[in-house]
Structure 1
Amino acid sequence: MSDFQIRREESESRGRYVTVVDGVEAELTFSKAGTGMIIADHTGVPREIGGRGVGLALAEAMIADARAAGIKVMPLCPFVNAQFKRHPDWSDLLP
């Protein structure tokens, strides 16, 4: 895991992981699909903070929470989908 301070915000149907780096906000958003799955639908890391591993840190926070909660993750976001391909140890979380 990274040293970024990441917080999870959520409502009944949606949520996001968010961090602020050098005053710039980055997020990974998700939708809830029932009680057993979330759909990772968007990762936004502004260019000013790109290349520092911020997106991966957001994805890792989501993965850790999904594992702890025993839920699956559908990676519709292209970035999250690419991370699933790079991290075969995450495959147990795929629906």
Structure 2
Amino acid sequence: METTKVILEEKGRGEIQLSSDGNKAGKMDISVHAPRLTVYHTEVDPQYEGRGFAKLLLTELVSYARENNLKIVPLCPFVHAQFKRQPEEYEDIWFKKED
């Protein structure tokens, strides 16, 4: 069984952790400085690749942002690619610089 949880330190740095049957399977490195949540990196342990675990981390990221009224700055290539593939799904939480 897979579980995810957001772990933040006092200064807003932290990660979203993904566990599978009690073992750490992946994580996203994040920082939260309201109203923004920056995601830097997504990582899934090689033994868990191909099971959609990166998508589970993305789902937790998006849920956390929506629940806390945050806009996501997708510096992580995986997250940025997902946002670009389905912009309508993430429009409400995607922070885009004004040009």
For the aligned pair, the TM-score class normalised by the smaller chain equals 0.7 to 0.9
| Count, aligned residues | 92
Cα RMSD (Å):
1.5
Bigger helix fraction: 1
Uncovered stretches (5+) of structure 2, i.e. residues with no partner:
none
Q: Please identify the structure whose Cα radius of gyration is greater.
A: 2
Percent identity over the alignment is 29
Dislocated runs of 4+, deviation >6 Å: none
Output the CA distance in 2 between the equivalents of 1:70 and 1:79: 22
SS for the counterpart of 2:92 is: helix
Uncovered stretches (5+) of structure 1, i.e. residues with no partner:
none
Output the CA distance in 2 between the equivalents of 1:75 and 1:52: 22
Q: Deviations over 1:30-59 (max 9, x none)?
A: 122x32001100101122101111011101
Output the CA distance in 1 between the equivalents of 2:24 and 2:35: 32
TM-score by length of structure 1 reads 0.86
